[in-house]
Structure 1
Amino acid sequence: MDKKDVGCLKAEIYVYRAELQDLGKAAGLFNQYRQFYKRDDDLSGAEQYIRERLTQGDSVIYLAVSKTADTLVPAGYVQLYPSLSSLSMSRIWILNDLFVDSDYRGHGIGRKLLDQAKMHAVQTGAKGLTLSTQLHNLKAQRLYESAGYARDDEFVYYNLNV
C-alpha cells in the first residue's frame, strides 16, 4: 500500500487478484485498454470476455485500485495467460495486458502491476514472463526495460489471423 498524490487527493493504491465480484472494475479497465489500441468501445463484450476468463480460470488478473475515503476506484490492471516454453521445458506467463487509467498515470501504478506479475511468476515456479507491445508505444517500452525486461533479439515473431 503506497500513498500517492492522484490529482489533488491523497490515495492509497492496492493491488490484488481479481475475482468474479470485481467483474465491473476489471471489464471497465479492459474496455479502456482495448480503446487505447483503437478498438471499438464495447463494455458488454468486455464484461463477457472478462467474466469468461475469471470463471474458466484461464487467465490471472490483478487490479490496482485507488482508495480515497471509503471508495475504491479502478486505476489499472494486468492480465496474465499461462503458457509453456518447450526449449526451457518450463512454465512461463504471457503478460498480455497492462493498462493504467489516464487519470492515474505517472504515479508508479504500472510498475506496481509489473512487480505483482513478477511475484506471481515466482510464486507459480515459472521461468519468467514474456510480453509484446506496439512499436510506437515508447513509454511502455521504457517502463518494461526499466523493470528488467530485455528486448528479444533472438526470435522474430509472426502472426496468422484465421
Structure 2
Amino acid sequence: MSYEIRSAGDDDFFGWLPLFEAYCRFYETELDDAKALIVWNWIRDEAEPLQAALAVDDDGRPVGLAHFRPVPHSLTATRGMHLDDLYVDEGVRGSGVGRALIEYVHARAAEIGHGGVSWITADDNTGAQQLYDRLAQRTSWVTYEMDA
C-alpha cells in the first residue's frame, strides 16, 4: 500500500480526530471536544503557527499525523521547524509513514530557511526513538518545563 503525505485541509477534521485522540491516549492526556476544536482551529487558522500534515492511504483514510510550527534559530539566524506531535496508526507502523511525515516536515523547513527540524519525545518511547536515531542526531540538550 502507498501513502500520500499532504497538508491537512478543511475537510480533514473527522479523519484527523481519531489519530489525535490516539496520540493523546498514548501520552495519557485527556482530549475532550473543546480541546480538539481548539487545536483544529489553530491548525486551520493561517494566523496561528501550528500546521498539520496527514499520511493518507490508498482509500483516502488518514493513518498518520504530524503537527509542526516554524521557529527562529537565533544562534544561526535561520528558521526551522519544531515537530510538536507525530503519530502513526498502530496498524501501519513500520511501513515508512513516520519517516515520510518527518521528511515532509524537513522539506517545509527547507522552504522557510534551512534551520532543520527539532523535536522531543518521551524517554520511554523507545519504539519511536529507533526511527529518530536513524533520521537525526540525538542531542545533549535537557528539557525543562514550568507549570502554568
Per the TM superposition, whether the score is higher than 0.5 is yes
SS in structure 2 opposite 1:127?
strand
Q: Which runs of 5+ in 2 are unaligned?
A: none
SS in structure 1 opposite 2:109?
helix
Aligned to 2:128: 140
Aligned to 2:74: 86
1:15-30 alignment runs, 5 A limit? 15-30=5-20
Shift in Å, 1:112: 0.9
**Runs of at least 4 residues of structure 1 off by over 6 A?**
none
Note the alpha carbon deviations across 1:41-92, whole angstroms, 9 max, x for none: 4355213321232124421211001123xxx111001111121112112112
Bigger radius of gyration: 1
RMSD: 1.6
SS in structure 2 opposite 1:78?
strand
State whether structure 2 residue 46 is matched by structure 1 residue 46: no
Aligned to 2:21: 31
The total of aligned residue pairs comes to 147
Distance in 1 between the 2:27 and 2:84 partners? 13
Determine if contact 1:76/1:99 at 8 Å carries over to the other structure.
yes
Aligned to 1:59: 50
Determine if contact 1:28/1:46 at 8 Å carries over to the other structure.
no
Aligned to 1:160: 146
Distance in 2 between the 1:48 and 1:157 partners? 25
Q: TM-score, normalised to structure 1's length?
A: 0.83
Aligned residues with identical type, % of pairs: 28
Determine if contact 1:17/1:63 at 8 Å carries over to the other structure.
yes
SS in structure 1 opposite 2:85?
strand
State whether structure 2 residue 137 is matched by structure 1 residue 150: yes
Aligned to 2:115: 127
Compare the two structures and name the one with the higher strand fraction.
1
